[in-house]
Amino acid sequence: MKTKIGCFAAFGVLLGFGSQLAHAAPDWSQVEKRDIPVFHPGVVSHEWIMKKSSHSGRTGLTKGESCIACHEGKNGFDIDLKKLASKELEPVGAPKTMIFPVTVQSVFDDANLYIRLTFKAPADAAAEASREDTSPKHEVKAAIMLGSPQIEHVTQHGCWLSCHSDVRSMPGADPKKKKYVEHGDLAGGAFYDYIQWKSGEAGKGATQVDGHVTNERVNKGGKSLVKAEGDVKDGVYTVTFTRKLSGNNADGDLALAAGQTIAFGIAIHTDKTVWRFHHVSMGYTLGLRAPGDIKAIKQ
């Protein structure tokens, strides 16, 4: 009897150990890196993008091309930073650093998706209007938006479909109106799954957000974000999101699986800024063992 109990106990220990191995932390040294440029967009909205007189790329978008099909080429990323920093497109003052790279890596296992962002955060935001108050709560914020396939044109336009000329901090807009998706429908699956890491001030009081964007941005309700962790060394931040593959529309969580390609974008707030005073990416795709600008490998 003692022998049987001992064997059963040992089996239980091994089973528990095996379970831990199945969901061990990713080996990031084995994961391909991709640098994605993020830039300060000023007051550029989706309406501006789709206006022919302001944006020549509108023609390509109406033909089914993506933003990066135009802005990324053999010579790298191409965008008119001087125009974005002009008074017309940034009336309250542009940051000195208009663009910087974010290194992106991603893996998944049987239960979770892991996304890692690494970047050097600039500390030269220009506009006082970009600050929430005289004592901002967060030095840095890093967010990812995963776009549901039910959002029309999401793989072309990325997160820009949620940025409109009538949302708060845009010139003359309602200061209470948040980002939204036209024809957003949580139950019908037309939404952005939105997760964010907030640094706190001076590395203290870090928090996380698991929300969604439909007819407005909601910073709560999600149940798939396991944790968002960040650290900083010599001004370089490393932020890692661990998110369950499972998800329900009712919670604003997309269900993910191997073989899937999902639209995604990045937004980084630095130097204690809020609202539209961030650096954002174009629309990219994430492939879970599938085609994508970023390829999430299975570990």
Q: What is the pLDDT of residue 128?
A: 60
- pLDDT > 60? residue 2: no
- Is pLDDT of 15 > 70? no
With pLDDT > 70 as the criterion, what percentage of the chain qualifies? 88
Q: Please tell me the predicted confidence (pLDDT) of residue 136.
A: 67
Within 13 Å, how many C-alpha atoms sit on residue 114's CB side? 21
Question: Would residue 26 count as lying in a domain?
Answer: no
Q: Are strands 112-120 and 72-73 parallel, antiparallel or unpaired?
A: unpaired
154-174 per-position pLDDT tens digit = 999 989 999 999 999 899 999
In a domain, 53, yes or no: yes
Q: In the numeric block, which tokens belong to residue 79? A: 């965008």
Range of the domain at 173: 37-298
For residue range 236-288, list pLDDT tens digits in order: 999 999 999 999 999 999 999 999 999 999 999 999 898 899 999 999 999 99
Indicate the DSSP class of residue 141.
Answer: E
pLDDT of residue 4: 39
Is position 84 within any domain?
Answer: yes
Strand, coil or helix: what is 48?
Answer: helix
| Residue 224 pLDDT class (50, 70, 90 cuts) | very high
Interatomic CA distance for residues 100 and 88, integer angstroms: 22
State how far the Cα of 204 lies from the Cα of 199, in Å rounded to an integer. Answer: 7
**27 within a domain of the structure (yes/no):** no
DSSP 8-class letter at 91 = T
Q: What is the pLDDT of residue 66?
A: 87
Please tell me the pTM assigned to this model. 0.89
Q: What gap in Å lies between CA 82 and CA 79, rounded to an integer?
A: 9
Convert the pLDDT of each residue in 26-46 to its tens digit. Answer: 999 999 999 999 999 999 999
pLDDT at 166: 96
Q: Which of 88, 276, 270, 86 is nearest to 169 (CA)?
A: 276
Q: What is the CATH number of the domain that holds 197?
A: 2.60.40.1190
In total, how many domains does the chain have?
Answer: 1
Give CA–CA dist 254/214, Å, rounded.
13
Per the domain annotation, does 21 fall within a domain?
Answer: no
Which percentage of the chain shows pLDDT scores above 90? 72
Collapsing DSSP states into helix, strand and coil, what is residue 128? helix
- What does the pLDDT look like over 102-130, one tens digit per residue? 999 999 999 999 999 999 999 998 766 55
Q: How many CA atoms lie within 13 A of 20 on its CB side?
A: 6
The position carrying tokens 């990812």 is: 144
* Averaged pLDDT of the chain: 88
Query: Is 19 inside a domain boundary?
Result: no
CA angle 165, 241, 284 (to 5 degrees): 45
97 domain-assigned: yes
What does the H/E/C string look like for 242-271?
EEECCCCHHHCCCCCCCCCEEEEEEEEECC
Residue 30 located in a structural domain: no
